[in-house]
Amino acid sequence: MYIEMLDILKVIGVFIAAYAGFWLLMALVFIGEIRAIFDRDPAARGFFGFFEVVFTYAGFHALVFYRIARLFLVLHVPFLPRFISQIARSLTGVEIHPGAKIGKRFFIDHGMGVVIGETTIIGDDVTLYQGVTLGGTGKESGKRHPTLGNDVFVGSGAKILGNITIGDHVKVGSNSVVLHCIPDNATVVGVPARVVRQNGKPVYTENPLVDPVWDKIKVIDAEIDCLAGKIGCDLNKDCELRTRRKGA
Ligand SMILES: CC(C)(COP(=O)(O)OP(=O)(O)OC[C@H]1O[C@@H](n2cnc3c(N)ncnc32)[C@H](O)[C@@H]1OP(=O)(O)O)[C@@H](O)C(=O)NCCC(=O)NCCS
CATH code for residues 99-210: 2.160.10.10
Kindly report the protein residue whose alpha carbon is nearest to atom 22 of ligand 1.
173
Ligand 1 within 6 A of CB of 188: no
Does 1 or 67 have the greater pLDDT score?
67
Distance separating alpha carbons of residues 154 and 120, to the nearest angstrom? 14
Rg of the chain over all Cα atoms, to the nearest angstrom = 24
CA nearest ligand 1 atom 35, residue: 245
Tell me if 197 CB under 6 Å of ligand 1: yes
Cα three-residue angle 21-23-28, rounded to 5 degrees:
95
Nearest-CA residue for ligand 1 atom 7 is 187
List the residue whose alpha carbon is closest to atom 14 of ligand 1: 196
**Which parts of the chain fold into alpha helices (H)?**
2-29, 31-40, 46-56, 58-74, 80-92, 212-230, 235-238, 240-245
169 touches ligand 1 (CB under 6 Å): no
Residue 191's pLDDT is 93
Rounded to whole angstroms, how far apart are CA atoms 117 and 138? 12
Does the pLDDT of residue 248 top 60, yes or no?
Answer: no
Q: Probe ligand 1: pick from 152, 156, 189, max atoms within 8 Å of CB?
A: 189
Instruction: In whole angstroms, give the CA distance from residue 174 to residue 48.
Output: 30
CB of 181 closer than 8 Å to CB of 198:
no
Ligand 1 atom with the smallest distance to the CA of 109 is: 48
Residue nearest ligand 1's atom 43 by CA:
155
Q: Are 247 and 202 in contact (CB under 8 A)?
A: yes
- Mutational pocket test of ligand 1: of 112, 172, 196, 246, the residue with most ligand atoms within 8 Å of the beta carbon: 196
Residues linked to residue 122 through DSSP beta bridges, in sequence order = 102, 148
Ligand 1 midpoint to CA 117 (Å)? 25
Q: Where are the domains of the chain?
A: 99-210, 212-247
Tell me how far apart the alpha carbons of residues 77 and 100 are, in angstroms, rounded to a whole number.
16
Q: What is the pLDDT of residue 1?
A: 62
Q: Per-residue pLDDT for 143 more than 80?
A: yes
172 CA to middle of ligand 1, Å?
8
> Cα(200) to centroid of ligand 1, in Å?
13
Give the C-alpha separation, 100 to 143, whole Å: 11
Please give the mean pLDDT across all residues of the chain: 92
* Better-scored residue on pLDDT, 4 or 165: 165
Rounded Cα gap, residues 64 and 88, in angstroms: 9
pLDDT of residue 234: 82
Q: pLDDT tens digit string along 72-111?
A: 999 999 999 999 999 999 999 999 999 999 999 999 999 9
Apex CA 21: angle with CA 15 and CA 35, to 5°? Answer: 140
pLDDT score recorded for residue 208: 47
Tell me the CA–centroid distance for residue 202 and ligand 1, in Å: 12
Mean pLDDT across 126-140: 96
Cα–ligand 1 centroid distance for 111 (angstroms): 20
Q: How confident is the model at residue 235 (pLDDT cuts 50, 70, 90)?
A: confident
Task: Please indicate whether residue 21 or residue 208 has the higher confidence score (pLDDT).
Answer: 21
